[in-house]
Amino acid sequence: MEISPNANPPVAKIIDWGKYQYQKMKEQQKNRRSSKQSELKQMRFGLKIGSGDLEIKLRKIRAFLADGHKVRIQIFYRGREMAHKELGYDLINKIAAQLEEDAVVEQQPQMAGRNLSIVIRSK
């Protein structure tokens, strides 16, 4: 194998090809492991969530963001709650305001069936 073709005289090295291929394969596996893709995590909230439960879920969302994941925050409506969609928008705005120093809203609030969701990512 040629090590330095521009040197005078060129530098070459005799290597075991099988060992070389094995080392290359191991290096690629290590690179694949270290460059983990960010996942899309999801956290679901009901409209009638208590303040303590909300704080726990926000703490978990902050942990996801610290790990480099994106988070979909989803508000789900049950039964007659669909008649008061504005409550979900208020809750989602409250959540976004509390996560403002840690996250950026990537996707604006969007209704899909009985769910209202946004996607956030870390700053």
45 and 25, same domain (yes or no): no
pLDDT at 76 over 70: yes
Cβ neighbors of 71 (< 8 A, separation 6 or more) are 40, 41, 42, 43, 61, 64, 65, 103, 119, 120, 121
What share of the chain in percent tops pLDDT 70? 97
- Give the model confidence (pLDDT) of 91-121 as tens digits: 999 999 999 888 899 889 999 889 999 999 9
Domain residues for the domain of 85 are: 40-122
Same domain, 26 and 84: no
63 and 13: one domain? Answer: no
pTM as predicted:
0.67
**Within this chain, do residues 12 and 27 fall inside the same structural domain, yes or no?**
yes
Who's near 20: CB < 8 A, 6+ residues apart? Answer: 1
User: Tell me, what CATH number does 66's domain have?
Assistant: 3.30.110.10
State the average pLDDT over residues 35-44.
82
Same domain (yes/no): 20, 69: no
In this prediction, residue 43 carries a pLDDT of 93
Residue 12, Cα to own-chain centre: how many angstroms? 46
Q: Are residues 57 and 17 in the same domain?
A: no
The pLDDT score that the predictor gives to residue 36 is 66
